[in-house]
Structure 1
Protein backbone atom coordinates (compact mmCIF):
# COMPACT_ATOMS: atom_id res chain seq x y z
CA UNK A 1 0.00 0.00 0.00
CA UNK A 2 2.79 2.43 0.81
CA UNK A 3 4.20 1.88 -2.71
CA UNK A 4 0.98 3.10 -4.30
CA UNK A 5 0.48 6.11 -2.06
CA UNK A 6 2.84 8.44 -4.04
CA UNK A 7 1.20 7.38 -7.34
CA UNK A 8 -2.26 8.08 -5.91
CA UNK A 9 -1.15 11.47 -4.58
CA UNK A 10 0.42 12.43 -7.94
CA UNK A 11 -2.71 11.28 -9.81
CA UNK A 12 -4.90 13.31 -7.45
CA UNK A 13 -2.68 16.39 -7.90
CA UNK A 14 -2.85 16.09 -11.71
CA UNK A 15 -6.63 15.80 -11.51
CA UNK A 16 -6.80 18.90 -9.31
CA UNK A 17 -4.77 20.89 -11.85
CA UNK A 18 -6.30 19.59 -15.10
CA UNK A 19 -9.93 19.46 -13.94
CA UNK A 20 -10.54 23.23 -13.81
CA UNK A 21 -8.50 23.79 -16.96
CA UNK A 22 -10.65 21.31 -18.90
CA UNK A 23 -13.78 22.84 -17.42
CA UNK A 24 -12.80 26.27 -18.84
CA UNK A 25 -12.24 24.86 -22.32
CA UNK A 26 -15.04 26.05 -24.65
CA UNK A 27 -17.52 23.45 -25.82
CA UNK A 28 -17.88 22.55 -29.49
CA UNK A 29 -21.02 24.70 -29.69
CA UNK A 30 -19.25 27.68 -28.11
CA UNK A 31 -16.37 27.32 -30.59
CA UNK A 32 -18.81 27.12 -33.51
CA UNK A 33 -20.67 30.25 -32.35
CA UNK A 34 -17.38 32.12 -31.86
CA UNK A 35 -16.40 31.18 -35.42
CA UNK A 36 -19.73 32.40 -36.85
CA UNK A 37 -19.57 35.66 -34.92
CA UNK A 38 -15.94 36.16 -35.93
CA UNK A 39 -16.92 35.73 -39.58
CA UNK A 40 -19.68 38.29 -39.06
CA UNK A 41 -17.26 40.80 -37.52
CA UNK A 42 -14.86 40.40 -40.45
CA UNK A 43 -17.73 41.25 -42.81
CA UNK A 44 -18.71 44.33 -40.79
CA UNK A 45 -21.81 42.71 -39.29
CA UNK A 46 -22.52 43.51 -35.64
CA UNK A 47 -23.90 40.74 -33.41
CA UNK A 48 -26.06 41.36 -30.35
CA UNK A 49 -28.05 38.93 -28.19
CA UNK A 50 -31.75 39.73 -27.72
CA UNK A 51 -34.80 37.95 -26.34
CA UNK A 52 -36.87 35.90 -28.75
CA UNK A 53 -40.20 37.24 -30.04
CA UNK A 54 -43.00 36.44 -27.57
CA UNK A 55 -44.69 34.07 -30.04
CA UNK A 56 -41.59 31.84 -30.02
CA UNK A 57 -41.37 31.43 -26.27
CA UNK A 58 -38.63 32.28 -23.82
CA UNK A 59 -34.94 32.47 -24.55
CA UNK A 60 -32.52 34.51 -26.59
CA UNK A 61 -30.99 34.48 -30.05
CA UNK A 62 -28.31 36.50 -31.81
CA UNK A 63 -29.24 39.47 -33.98
CA UNK A 64 -26.90 40.01 -36.93
CA UNK A 65 -26.97 43.73 -37.84
CA UNK A 66 -25.94 45.04 -41.24
CA UNK A 67 -25.10 48.67 -40.55
CA UNK A 68 -26.91 51.45 -42.40
CA UNK A 69 -24.86 53.36 -44.95
CA UNK A 70 -26.31 56.68 -43.75
CA UNK A 71 -28.31 56.67 -40.51
CA UNK A 72 -30.01 60.03 -40.92
CA UNK A 73 -33.72 60.33 -41.78
CA UNK A 74 -34.56 56.63 -41.60
CA UNK A 75 -37.99 55.36 -40.60
CA UNK A 76 -36.90 52.71 -38.10
CA UNK A 77 -38.30 51.11 -34.96
CA UNK A 78 -40.26 48.41 -36.75
CA UNK A 79 -39.92 44.66 -36.24
CA UNK A 80 -41.13 41.72 -38.32
CA UNK A 81 -41.48 38.62 -36.14
CA UNK A 82 -42.04 34.98 -36.92
CA UNK A 83 -45.41 33.85 -35.58
CA UNK A 84 -46.43 30.39 -34.44
CA UNK A 85 -48.97 29.93 -37.21
CA UNK A 86 -49.35 30.77 -40.87
CA UNK A 87 -52.19 33.19 -41.40
CA UNK A 88 -53.46 35.19 -44.35
CA UNK A 89 -53.72 38.33 -42.19
CA UNK A 90 -49.98 38.23 -41.42
CA UNK A 91 -47.55 40.33 -43.41
CA UNK A 92 -46.10 37.25 -45.13
CA UNK A 93 -47.07 33.71 -44.20
CA UNK A 94 -45.88 33.24 -40.62
CA UNK A 95 -44.28 36.71 -40.41
CA UNK A 96 -46.08 39.72 -38.94
CA UNK A 97 -45.34 43.10 -37.40
CA UNK A 98 -44.17 43.06 -33.79
CA UNK A 99 -45.85 46.36 -32.93
CA UNK A 100 -48.02 49.03 -34.48
CA UNK A 101 -44.94 50.52 -36.15
CA UNK A 102 -44.57 49.16 -39.68
CA UNK A 103 -41.94 49.69 -42.33
CA UNK A 104 -42.90 52.09 -45.11
CA UNK A 105 -44.76 50.29 -47.89
CA UNK A 106 -41.94 51.08 -50.32
CA UNK A 107 -39.81 48.55 -48.38
CA UNK A 108 -42.40 45.75 -48.39
CA UNK A 109 -41.36 44.11 -51.69
CA UNK A 110 -37.73 43.97 -50.50
CA UNK A 111 -38.80 42.63 -47.12
CA UNK A 112 -40.76 39.83 -48.83
CA UNK A 113 -37.69 38.96 -50.90
CA UNK A 114 -35.45 39.07 -47.81
CA UNK A 115 -37.80 36.77 -45.89
CA UNK A 116 -37.73 34.25 -48.75
CA UNK A 117 -33.92 34.26 -48.85
CA UNK A 118 -33.17 33.78 -45.13
CA UNK A 119 -32.30 30.52 -43.33
CA UNK A 120 -35.32 28.73 -41.86
CA UNK A 121 -34.37 29.39 -38.22
CA UNK A 122 -34.51 33.18 -38.43
CA UNK A 123 -36.90 34.70 -35.88
CA UNK A 124 -37.18 38.42 -36.58
CA UNK A 125 -36.12 41.33 -38.78
CA UNK A 126 -35.36 44.44 -36.79
CA UNK A 127 -34.75 48.00 -37.95
CA UNK A 128 -32.93 50.08 -35.33
CA UNK A 129 -30.43 52.90 -35.37
CA UNK A 130 -27.69 50.21 -35.39
CA UNK A 131 -28.84 48.85 -38.75
CA UNK A 132 -31.05 46.21 -40.30
CA UNK A 133 -30.87 43.13 -38.12
CA UNK A 134 -31.91 39.52 -38.52
CA UNK A 135 -32.45 37.51 -35.35
CA UNK A 136 -31.11 34.03 -35.96
CA UNK A 137 -30.81 30.94 -33.78
CA UNK A 138 -27.42 30.21 -35.40
CA UNK A 139 -28.22 26.70 -36.61
CA UNK A 140 -26.97 25.44 -39.95
CA UNK A 141 -23.34 26.45 -39.52
CA UNK A 142 -21.23 28.31 -42.05
CA UNK A 143 -23.58 27.53 -44.95
CA UNK A 144 -26.57 29.15 -43.20
CA UNK A 145 -24.39 32.10 -42.12
CA UNK A 146 -23.32 32.65 -45.73
CA UNK A 147 -26.97 32.59 -46.79
CA UNK A 148 -27.82 35.12 -44.07
CA UNK A 149 -24.91 37.47 -44.79
CA UNK A 150 -25.48 37.35 -48.56
CA UNK A 151 -29.17 38.14 -48.06
CA UNK A 152 -28.38 41.07 -45.76
CA UNK A 153 -25.74 42.43 -48.15
CA UNK A 154 -28.20 42.27 -51.06
CA UNK A 155 -31.38 43.59 -49.44
CA UNK A 156 -30.26 45.93 -46.62
CA UNK A 157 -29.17 48.74 -49.01
CA UNK A 158 -32.47 48.43 -50.92
CA UNK A 159 -34.48 48.49 -47.70
CA UNK A 160 -32.42 51.43 -46.44
CA UNK A 161 -33.31 53.43 -49.54
CA UNK A 162 -36.97 52.50 -49.19
CA UNK A 163 -37.22 53.54 -45.52
CA UNK A 164 -35.43 56.85 -45.97
CA UNK A 165 -37.66 59.85 -45.35
CA UNK A 166 -37.79 62.03 -48.41
CA UNK A 167 -37.24 65.72 -47.83
CA UNK A 168 -39.87 67.94 -49.39
CA UNK A 169 -38.64 69.66 -52.51
CA UNK A 170 -38.62 73.41 -52.23
CA UNK A 171 -39.61 75.13 -55.39
CA UNK A 172 -37.96 78.42 -56.22
CA UNK A 173 -40.14 81.43 -55.67
CA UNK A 174 -41.13 83.46 -58.72
Structure 2
Protein backbone atom coordinates (compact mmCIF):
# COMPACT_ATOMS: atom_id res chain seq x y z
CA UNK A 1 0.00 0.00 0.00
CA UNK A 2 2.76 2.45 0.87
CA UNK A 3 4.30 1.77 -2.57
CA UNK A 4 1.10 2.96 -4.24
CA UNK A 5 0.67 6.13 -2.19
CA UNK A 6 3.08 8.29 -4.30
CA UNK A 7 1.45 7.02 -7.50
CA UNK A 8 -2.02 7.93 -6.18
CA UNK A 9 -0.84 11.39 -5.07
CA UNK A 10 0.80 12.06 -8.46
CA UNK A 11 -2.35 10.84 -10.29
CA UNK A 12 -4.55 13.07 -8.13
CA UNK A 13 -2.26 16.07 -8.77
CA UNK A 14 -2.43 15.45 -12.53
CA UNK A 15 -6.23 15.35 -12.41
CA UNK A 16 -6.24 18.65 -10.48
CA UNK A 17 -4.04 20.26 -13.14
CA UNK A 18 -5.60 18.76 -16.29
CA UNK A 19 -9.25 19.07 -15.23
CA UNK A 20 -9.49 22.87 -15.47
CA UNK A 21 -7.45 22.86 -18.69
CA UNK A 22 -9.97 20.50 -20.28
CA UNK A 23 -12.82 22.80 -19.19
CA UNK A 24 -11.19 25.65 -21.14
CA UNK A 25 -11.04 23.65 -24.36
CA UNK A 26 -13.78 24.87 -26.73
CA UNK A 27 -16.46 22.40 -27.68
CA UNK A 28 -17.37 21.62 -31.31
CA UNK A 29 -20.09 24.32 -31.48
CA UNK A 30 -17.78 27.02 -30.11
CA UNK A 31 -15.08 26.03 -32.60
CA UNK A 32 -17.59 26.15 -35.47
CA UNK A 33 -18.84 29.61 -34.40
CA UNK A 34 -15.28 30.91 -34.08
CA UNK A 35 -14.52 29.62 -37.58
CA UNK A 36 -17.61 31.29 -39.10
CA UNK A 37 -16.92 34.59 -37.35
CA UNK A 38 -13.30 34.48 -38.46
CA UNK A 39 -14.35 33.82 -42.04
CA UNK A 40 -16.83 36.72 -41.82
CA UNK A 41 -14.11 39.04 -40.49
CA UNK A 42 -11.84 38.12 -43.42
CA UNK A 43 -14.72 39.10 -45.75
CA UNK A 44 -15.01 42.52 -44.05
CA UNK A 45 -18.05 41.65 -41.93
CA UNK A 46 -18.11 42.93 -38.34
CA UNK A 47 -19.71 40.57 -35.80
CA UNK A 48 -21.20 41.84 -32.52
CA UNK A 49 -23.29 40.06 -29.89
CA UNK A 50 -26.53 41.88 -29.03
CA UNK A 51 -29.74 41.23 -27.10
CA UNK A 52 -32.58 39.54 -28.96
CA UNK A 53 -35.61 41.63 -30.00
CA UNK A 54 -38.05 42.06 -27.12
CA UNK A 55 -40.68 39.87 -28.80
CA UNK A 56 -38.27 36.90 -28.72
CA UNK A 57 -37.53 37.11 -24.99
CA UNK A 58 -34.20 37.04 -23.19
CA UNK A 59 -30.95 36.01 -24.74
CA UNK A 60 -28.44 37.19 -27.30
CA UNK A 61 -27.50 36.51 -30.89
CA UNK A 62 -24.71 37.62 -33.21
CA UNK A 63 -25.25 40.57 -35.54
CA UNK A 64 -23.28 40.36 -38.79
CA UNK A 65 -22.67 43.91 -40.10
CA UNK A 66 -21.85 44.50 -43.76
CA UNK A 67 -20.09 47.87 -43.68
CA UNK A 68 -21.44 50.70 -45.80
CA UNK A 69 -19.32 51.73 -48.77
CA UNK A 70 -20.05 55.41 -48.04
CA UNK A 71 -21.72 55.94 -44.64
CA UNK A 72 -22.38 59.67 -45.10
CA UNK A 73 -25.93 60.81 -45.71
CA UNK A 74 -27.69 57.55 -44.85
CA UNK A 75 -31.02 57.31 -43.04
CA UNK A 76 -30.11 54.78 -40.35
CA UNK A 77 -31.50 53.89 -36.93
CA UNK A 78 -34.29 51.61 -38.12
CA UNK A 79 -34.67 47.96 -37.09
CA UNK A 80 -36.85 45.31 -38.70
CA UNK A 81 -37.60 42.68 -36.03
CA UNK A 82 -39.12 39.23 -36.03
CA UNK A 83 -42.42 39.28 -34.12
CA UNK A 84 -44.13 36.46 -32.25
CA UNK A 85 -47.16 36.37 -34.52
CA UNK A 86 -47.90 37.05 -38.16
CA UNK A 87 -50.20 39.99 -38.77
CA UNK A 88 -51.38 41.85 -41.86
CA UNK A 89 -50.39 45.18 -40.27
CA UNK A 90 -46.76 44.06 -40.03
CA UNK A 91 -44.23 45.02 -42.68
CA UNK A 92 -44.04 41.43 -43.94
CA UNK A 93 -45.67 38.46 -42.23
CA UNK A 94 -43.96 38.20 -38.84
CA UNK A 95 -41.60 41.14 -39.52
CA UNK A 96 -42.27 44.65 -38.28
CA UNK A 97 -40.45 47.87 -37.40
CA UNK A 98 -39.05 48.40 -33.92
CA UNK A 99 -40.41 51.49 -32.16
CA UNK A 100 -42.52 52.30 -35.23
CA UNK A 101 -39.50 53.71 -37.10
CA UNK A 102 -39.46 52.25 -40.63
CA UNK A 103 -36.72 52.30 -43.22
CA UNK A 104 -37.18 54.70 -46.12
CA UNK A 105 -39.78 53.34 -48.54
CA UNK A 106 -37.23 53.10 -51.36
CA UNK A 107 -35.54 50.27 -49.43
CA UNK A 108 -38.69 48.21 -48.81
CA UNK A 109 -38.52 46.18 -52.03
CA UNK A 110 -34.92 45.19 -51.24
CA UNK A 111 -35.81 44.35 -47.63
CA UNK A 112 -38.67 42.11 -48.81
CA UNK A 113 -36.28 40.34 -51.19
CA UNK A 114 -33.60 40.06 -48.48
CA UNK A 115 -36.08 38.47 -46.06
CA UNK A 116 -36.87 35.86 -48.69
CA UNK A 117 -33.21 34.85 -49.07
CA UNK A 118 -31.94 34.87 -45.48
CA UNK A 119 -31.71 31.74 -43.29
CA UNK A 120 -34.78 30.97 -41.16
CA UNK A 121 -33.16 31.75 -37.80
CA UNK A 122 -32.71 35.47 -38.45
CA UNK A 123 -34.02 37.69 -35.64
CA UNK A 124 -33.59 41.24 -36.95
CA UNK A 125 -32.25 43.46 -39.72
CA UNK A 126 -30.81 46.77 -38.62
CA UNK A 127 -29.23 49.83 -40.19
CA UNK A 128 -26.66 51.63 -38.05
CA UNK A 129 -23.68 53.89 -38.70
CA UNK A 130 -21.59 50.68 -38.82
CA UNK A 131 -23.53 49.12 -41.68
CA UNK A 132 -26.43 46.84 -42.54
CA UNK A 133 -26.70 44.24 -39.78
CA UNK A 134 -28.45 40.90 -39.69
CA UNK A 135 -29.00 39.35 -36.26
CA UNK A 136 -28.62 35.62 -36.58
CA UNK A 137 -28.79 32.78 -34.05
CA UNK A 138 -25.97 31.03 -35.93
CA UNK A 139 -27.65 27.69 -36.37
CA UNK A 140 -28.05 25.88 -39.66
CA UNK A 141 -24.36 25.33 -40.22
CA UNK A 142 -22.23 26.26 -43.19
CA UNK A 143 -25.15 26.33 -45.64
CA UNK A 144 -26.98 29.01 -43.63
CA UNK A 145 -23.74 30.93 -43.13
CA UNK A 146 -23.05 31.01 -46.88
CA UNK A 147 -26.67 32.05 -47.54
CA UNK A 148 -26.30 34.92 -45.03
CA UNK A 149 -22.99 36.10 -46.49
CA UNK A 150 -24.19 36.06 -50.11
CA UNK A 151 -27.45 37.84 -49.16
CA UNK A 152 -25.53 40.59 -47.36
CA UNK A 153 -23.15 41.01 -50.31
CA UNK A 154 -26.05 41.23 -52.75
CA UNK A 155 -28.47 43.49 -50.89
CA UNK A 156 -26.33 45.75 -48.71
CA UNK A 157 -25.20 48.02 -51.59
CA UNK A 158 -28.77 48.22 -52.93
CA UNK A 159 -30.20 49.11 -49.52
CA UNK A 160 -27.37 51.60 -48.94
CA UNK A 161 -28.34 53.58 -52.03
CA UNK A 162 -32.05 53.30 -51.24
CA UNK A 163 -31.59 54.85 -47.77
CA UNK A 164 -29.29 57.63 -48.92
CA UNK A 165 -30.86 61.04 -48.18
CA UNK A 166 -31.82 62.88 -51.29
CA UNK A 167 -29.58 65.81 -51.97
CA UNK A 168 -31.52 68.97 -52.80
CA UNK A 169 -31.22 69.93 -56.44
CA UNK A 170 -29.30 73.15 -57.00
CA UNK A 171 -31.40 76.28 -57.38
CA UNK A 172 -30.80 78.94 -59.98
CA UNK A 173 -29.12 81.20 -57.40
CA UNK A 174 -26.65 78.46 -56.42
CA UNK A 175 -25.75 77.87 -60.05
CA UNK A 176 -24.83 81.52 -60.68
Query: Which range, TM-score by smaller chain?
Result: over 0.9
Query: SS where residue 26 of structure 2 aligns?
Result: coil
Using the alignment, how far apart are the partners of 1:32 and 1:157 within structure 2? 28
Structure 1 ranges of 4+ moved more than 2 A: 171-174
Separation of aligned partners in 1, 2:96 and 2:116? 14
User: Superposed, which structure 2 residues align to 1:59-98 within 5 Å?
Assistant: 59-98=59-98
Q: Give the Cα separation in 1 of the matches to 2:20 and 2:81.
A: 41
Partner of 1:104: 104
Match runs of 1:20-169 below 5 Å = 20-169=20-169
d(CA) in 2 for partners of 1:91, 1:99: 13
Q: Which residue of 2 aligns with 1:5?
A: 5
Cα displacement (A) at 1:99: 1.5
Post-superposition offset of 1:135: 0.2
Alpha-carbon distance in structure 2 between the residues aligned to 1:101 and 1:7: 69
The gaps in structure 1 that reach 5 residues or longer are: none
Unaligned 5+ segments in structure 2 are none
Instruction: Look up the SS of the partner of 1:134 in the other structure.
Output: strand
TM (norm. structure 2) is 0.96
